[in-house]
Amino acid sequence: MDAVNRININSSNYLTQAAQNRQADASSPLPSDKVDIKDVPVKDLMDEKSMRSFLKDMPKVDLHRHLEGSIQPKTLISIAKRKGIELPTYDEAELKPYLQITDKDKTLLDFIKKFDTIGKAFTDKEAVEEVTYEAVKDANDDNVKYAEFRFSPVYMASQYGMSVEDVMKGVLDGVARAKKDFNTETGLIMIVERQMGPEHAAFVEKLAEQYKDQGVVALDLANDEFNFPPGPYAQVFQQAKEAGLKVTVHAGEAGGAENVRVSIEDLKADRIGHGVRTFEDPAVEKMVRERGIPLEMCPTSNVQTGATKSLDSHPFKKYYDEGIPVTINSDDPSVSNITLTDDYVKIVDKFGFTLRDVEKFVMNGLDAAFLPKDEKEALRQKYGAEIAQVEQEYVVAHPFNTGVR
Ligand code: ADE
Ligand code: ZN
């Protein structure tokens, strides 16, 4: 753990100075001797540096993380040099705007355009394995202890005419090698490209069925939601469900609440990717809440794709307060140039979330994971112990407080 300003176990003053000032100004200050420390905003318990370090050390779950969007610029350069692939530049700083979001990028289509350059990495099975291994390593470095990586086998294969079987070998070998070296557990989700039509979708669905016993847990519908609604994919996704796969659908990102409704009712989605715009139809919001459909929200990406204007207007807290099982995820860490910790920091800081809330976000992720019940329960136990330990390291009891429970 970095050197940070931890709260002193013997200190009666567990709030930061800024929080104390806010309390002093408030008409009815918090009865600090009765407050459970878990109900105090994290930003009032520690300074910004400590909060970042605390949220990094917390074990986290990432349910929405694209394998292709996890590639580091330097890895793309290294693969391109080795394989003789032409890139716009081999200078890392100059290459970044080709695969990472800049101030000029405003929409989902700007976001997706980055995958033109990213695609240059997928030359062969070996490159796929390298990208996969590195993606798991990066997740592990950020204390993401369970990650579901989604990828599009047809997108990767079509870059240089690789077979989808070689793509799968690369992904599976990368995951297997990473499993030996790191503590991050993984699930795999196969992507159907919504702009490619139902025939392509049926092909990917069959492929997912074929690899169901080798770590593929679900089918996803991704890419250009603005121009391609989910309706035409209902049959294929229902088939996936019948075959025992789970379903998640990118919806309510560049499209409205109707896409969320169709994804749940017709594509039988177990989870929704983003779902930011669900609130545009209160009836759909009610359905998501009543059915307990987890939303895989990706705060940085959601602002970058224009799903929401800014973090201030992000409906994450609104949904959370209503009882919708929201989760925090990274989407494409390299495209967004973030870690999952960055997204936690943004959300916890912006909305003043507490330790109890942070625990809930992590546990919502585990509850919504596409894992068998017994494995989920084992992870819940493991996470519970790890979370308690990290909290103990950073946040300890006010003497009048009941303390961290
Ligand atoms: N593919 C990669 N990132 C995506 C996103 N945020 N939405 C749709 N398709 C994607
Ligand atoms: Zn996504």
Radius of gyration of the chain (CA): 22
Q: Is the pLDDT of residue 64 over 60?
A: yes
Q: How many Å apart are CA 152 and CA 216, to the nearest integer? A: 12
What would the pLDDT profile of 110-146 be if each residue is shown by its tens digit?
Answer: 999 999 999 999 999 999 999 999 999 999 999 999 9
The predicted structure's pLDDT at residue 36? 87
Which residues make beta-bridge pairs with 66? 150
Instruction: Count other Cβ atoms within 10 Å, centred on residue 10.
Output: 7
Q: How many angstroms does the Cα of residue 113 sit away from the middle of ligand 2? A: 14
Q: Is the pLDDT of residue 2 over 70?
A: no
11: CB partners within 8 A, 6+ apart? 398
What would the pLDDT profile of 308-318 be if each residue is shown by its tens digit?
Answer: 999 999 999 99
- The number of the ligand 1 atom at minimal distance from the alpha carbon of 66 is 2
- The number of the ligand 1 atom at minimal distance from the alpha carbon of 335 is 3
Which position has the token pair 């990650």?
A: 147
Nearest CA to ligand 1 atom 1: 223
Closest ligand (CA of 226): 1
Average pLDDT of the chain is 92
Q: How many angstroms does the Cα of residue 105 sit away from the middle of ligand 1? A: 14
Nearest CA to ligand 1 atom 9: 223
Please give the domain boundaries of the chain with CATH numbers for all domains.
53-385 (3.20.20.140)
Residue 401 pLDDT level (bands cut at 50, 70, 90): very low
Q: How many angstroms does the Cα of residue 238 sit away from the middle of ligand 1? A: 22
Q: How many Å apart are CA 286 and CA 288, to the nearest integer? A: 5
Closest ligand (CA of 113): 1
Q: How many angstroms does the Cα of residue 2 sit away from the middle of ligand 2? A: 31
Nearest CA to ligand 1 atom 7: 223
Q: What are phi and psi of 232, to 5 degrees?
A: -60, -10
Pocket lined around ligand 1, Cβ cut-off 6 Å: 66, 69, 108, 111-112, 222-223, 250, 253, 301, 305, 331-332
Q: Is the pLDDT of residue 199 over 70?
A: yes
Percentage of residues in the chain having pLDDT higher than 70: 89
Task: Return the exposure string of 163-187: e unless at least 16 CB atoms fall within 10 Å of the residue's CB, then b.
Answer: ebebbbbbbbbbbebbeeebebbbb
Instruction: Count other Cβ atoms within 10 Å, centred on residue 243.
Output: 14
- Which residue in 305, 273, 71, 60 sits closest to 183, CA to CA? 60
Q: 148, 185, 253, 285: which one is catalytic? A: 253
Beta strand 144-151 with 60-66 is parallel
Q: Is the pLDDT of residue 31 over 70?
A: no
Strands (E), 47-156: 60-66, 144-151
- The number of the ligand 1 atom at minimal distance from the alpha carbon of 254 is 7
The predicted structure's pLDDT at residue 396? 67
Annotated catalytic, 253?
Answer: yes
HSE of 170 in the Cβ direction (CA atoms, 13 Å)? 27
Q: What is the mean pLDDT of residues 283-297?
A: 99
Ligand 1 pocket mutation, candidates 64, 113, 223, criterion most atoms within 8 A of CB = 223
The predicted structure's pLDDT at residue 11? 38
Q: How many angstroms does the Cα of residue 27 sit away from the middle of ligand 2? A: 44
- The number of the ligand 1 atom at minimal distance from the alpha carbon of 223 is 9
The predicted structure's pLDDT at residue 261? 98
Q: How many angstroms does the Cα of residue 166 sit away from the middle of ligand 2? A: 23
pTM: 0.93
Ligand 1 pocket mutation, candidates 111, 114, 115, 195, criterion most atoms within 8 A of CB = 111
Residue 35 pLDDT level (bands cut at 50, 70, 90): confident
Ligand 1 pocket mutation, candidates 332, 335, 336, 338, criterion most atoms within 8 A of CB = 332
The predicted structure's pLDDT at residue 14? 59
What would the pLDDT profile of 217-258 be if each residue is shown by its tens digit?
Answer: 999 999 999 999 999 999 999 999 999 999 999 999 999 999
